[in-house]
Structure 1
């Protein structure tokens, strides 16, 4: 084709040049025995891989399918391998094509077409991996917008030129210089590292929380320490992958130090207070605490900066960790320690009060939540009131008297029923009104 394109824009001339090259390449393939041989090898490799896959897949499915309800590590591994069975076809096709490529190159001395086909099989394997095997939303997104485009560029043979271009293009930020390739590599590696760090942190936290022989505070401290180690290692690996020397971070470290000394000192104080609380175990998740300002609630979450309390009415109170160190905090729970509660009641003056302690103590002891240790229920005479004789019963329970544990209400029911059973009157307020006649004037 001999066209006069001198009057056309340069981009049109360049596009036509590429079309002419493609046309010439297609003509050479049509008349070249080596090209036809490579196409034939590709087709034969694909068909043979298809036959092998169909025969193997049924056998492997039966062998890999775990027993129903199995949850051990081997069952999980077999389920994962079952998910990977769709990869058999492109993997076998790639392997057979690689064998065919060696034969073709030894006979004809070239194998560009079959090498292209081999890369296409790899692209198909990556596509199956992203669409059918990967279930995590983040990894699926990364595969769709990073892995598949990279494999597509690799399949058409442009990965090396593109990599060279990105390596030669540099970006300078002060005394730090890095290439576009290093930046892209850092973004991709950082995403993978921190995803893996999050997954590892979840697994380690789940394992630590299962260790019931450890105190809750110790478990939290171990989980926080594991989190710091995991993400610290991920950060240093990322810096190494990006080629950023750690000495270049000295200026950043100095700036952070100055910030902590001025504007961030409260954050630093809360973080250090949180570490102290974990080490000492003064308050942990599940404890019911009352602060010095009267606010009270159950600790439902701990963070590096604060603890979150949930009140009986469902409100969340965010309390800085420093307040637990510098102010008075009453801990009613202490994760399982017994608490002493007291309820009061009255009987009429006609009652033989010497019978009351035994009757009420026996009745209260029937409650399943009332403990015999450190002391059984104890009934004490409190005083002589206007309408009746006042008593108080003290008893020990695990936990506190809240919406879930209605200890006080249950004990009052037991007291009422016990008094009624023994025909003991519960007084009600009485008043005597004296009427006096005033003398007539």
Structure 2
């Protein structure tokens, strides 16, 4: 059949040419004894691979499944290999088809049909890989959007044609010119590199966090340095893959420098302040701090720009790192140091005040969290008030008197009970009112 497509768009003419070419190839295969032989070899290779898979797969699954609870290197390797067992059928079919292709080319001098079947088995392997083996959402998306279409083009023998066509198309960006193929290659490589960077960063961070012999601040600094190094290497590898020379980044570097000097100076200041904090270890995750402006909370997360404090009422406060450098910060934790608190009280003027200190000190010492080191509880006379004699008991604890810890409240109860048990009165204000009658006249 001949159709006049001269008046049609170029894309339709090109598609029709490919369709005619495909029809000619298919017709040649259907009428060729060599093609029928290759079809038979393909069917035989698939059946043999299917039979072997039925026998080998259960044995391989038993061999590669480690005992429950094992976490050794060998057990981890066996679990890793077990994941790829579903690829056994297409890979065996591919191997048998490759052997059949060599025999077909030796006998008939051609192997186009069996080569096409071999590529189809590779496409089947890629489909199983994406659907059944890959579990990461990002990699699964890459497989569906990129790997499967590429393998389909390869199976149809159109991959070289598509690659050549994409290499002819160019995209200009200022003085830099790219081919569409370079852009696609850069997107694919960038996605894979930065996924690998994220995975490597997670593994490195997990390893560093387990090094208990390192100070917390040192672990955080090492994790941040590893993160910066990993993504910097990924970025420069991507530039090399895309083909962008580093000299072309001079203008971009100058623009970034101007931005840092003006609009981004606060961000740069906070980033540098964060590095200083990690180096000096002044404040780290888990410390309870109070800033000069009255904000207080436990540091739950550190970022390149800020530290996040969690207050005891459940709120999160984002504090720029610069504030920890330029303002006064009280660190109540300081990597587990103890803190001193005091509870004031008063007794009646009728009391023998010499009895009060030993009674209160003994009562407060019974609290399980009150420490004897650096100092035991100390009851001091503070003054003589309007209603009673004023005392205060000082005590040391290894924690913060807030949140789930109620040290001052517990000590207050101990003081009340101790004074009551010893018959000591806690005074309250009294007022004497004098009524004068007017003089009689």
* TM-score under structure 1 length normalisation: 0.94
Q: Report if the CA contact (8 A) 1:208-1:222 is conserved.
A: yes
- Name which of structure 1's ranges 224-233 and 280-289 shifts more when overlaid on structure 2: 280-289
What per-residue deviation string (whole Å, max 9, x for no partner) do you get for residues 278-321 of structure 1?
11111122222222222222222222122222222222222221
CA distance in 1, matches of 2:214, 2:349: 54
Does the 8 A contact of 1:38 with 1:104 survive in 2? yes
Corresponding residue of 1:129: 129
Q: CA deviation at 1:436?
A: 2.6
- In the alignment, the residues of structure 1 paired with residue 284 and residue 178 of structure 2 have an alpha-carbon distance, to the nearest angstrom, of 46
2:199 is matched with 199
Aligned twin of 1:171: 171
Give the distance between the partners of 1:230 and 1:6, measured in 2 at CA: 55
Structure 1 gap segments, 5+ residues each: none
Q: Aligned-pair distance for 1:438?
A: 2.8
C-alpha distance in 1 between matches for 2:45 and 2:311: 68
Contact persistence 2:39–2:114 (CA under 8 A): yes
1:101 Cα deviation after fit? 0.6
Cα distance in 2 for partners of 1:257, 1:13 equals 52
Within 5 Å, give how 1:15-414 maps onto structure 2: 18-414=18-414
Bigger CA drift: 86-95 or 364-373?
364-373
Alignment check: 8 A CA contact 2:45 2:96 kept: yes
Q: Which moved more, 1:349-358 or 1:128-137?
A: 349-358
1:435 CA displacement = 2.7
- CA distance in structure 1 between the aligned counterparts of 2:14 and 2:124, rounded to whole angstroms: 31
Residue aligned with 1:370, SS: coil
- What is the deviation of 1:269? 1.3
- How far apart are the structure 2 equivalents of 1:186 and 1:331? 48
User: Please, which moves more after superposition, 137-146 or 203-212?
Assistant: 203-212
The answer as to whether partners of 2:6 and 2:13 remain within 8 angstroms in 1 is: no
Q: 1:342 touches 1:393 (CA, 8 Å); kept in 2? A: yes
Deviations 1:30-52 (A, max 9, x none): 33221011111111111111111
What is the number of residues matched between the two proteins? 440
Q: Distance in 1 between matches of 2:340 and 2:238?
A: 54
Contact 2:29/2:113, CA 8 A, preserved across alignment: no
Q: CA deviation at 1:174?
A: 2.5
Partner of 2:380, secondary structure, is strand
Q: What is the alpha-carbon root mean square deviation over aligned residues?
A: 2.0
Distance in 2 separating the partners of 1:202 and 1:357 = 56
Residue 9 of structure 1 deviates from its aligned partner by 4.2
For the residues of structure 2 that align with 1:14 and 1:243, how far apart are their CA atoms? 31
Native 8 Å contact 1:5 1:13 kept in 2:
no
- 1: CA distance between counterparts of 2:340 and 2:32? 96
Separation (CA, whole Å) in 2 of partners of 1:392 and 1:313: 29
Quote the Cα distance in structure 2 between the aligned partners of 1:439 and 1:357.
51
In structure 2, stretches of 5+ residues that fail to align are none
- TM-score normalized by the length of structure 2: 0.94
- Deviation string 1:139-169 (CA, Å, 9 cap, x unpaired) is 1111111111111111101111111121222
Deviation of 1:426 after TM superposition, in Å, equals 2.3
